[in-house]
């Protein structure tokens, strides 16, 4: 049996089990544990922040549509705060 110890980013582990099984004919196993936290590289952080901003905007627009539908023909100013 061969044992390999390595530190890898958590994001790399999502497909690791499938790849390991494929490479070892279904015999390979692995275990993982959190080693440490590190800052996300700036270019990745910007992508994550932008995706979250878009999700928040979409949820806000959806909430505003629901409020408008409930009001029917009446008019009102609705201000949502996070």
Tell me the per-residue pLDDT of 26-54, one tens digit each, with 9 for 90 and over: 888 888 888 888 888 899 999 999 999 99
Q: Are 28 and 20 in contact (CB under 8 A)?
A: yes
H or E stretch at 42: helix 42-71
Q: Are 67 and 78 in contact (CB under 8 A)?
A: yes
State the average pLDDT over residues 50-64: 85
Q: Please give the Cα distance from 17 to 73 (Å, whole number).
A: 56
> Mean pLDDT score of the chain, rounded to an integer?
81
């Amino acid at each position: 049996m061969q044992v390999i110890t390595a530190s890898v980013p958590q994001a790399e582990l999502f497909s690791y089990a499938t790849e390991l099984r494929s490479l070892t004919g279904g015999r390979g196993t692995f275990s993982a544990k959190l080693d440490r936290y590190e800052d996300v590289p700036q270019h990745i952080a910007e992508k994550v922040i932008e995706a979250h901003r878009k999700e928040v905007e979409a949820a806000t627009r959806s909430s505003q549509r629901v409020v408008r539908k409930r009001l029917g023909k009446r008019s009102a100013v609705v201000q949502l705060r996070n």
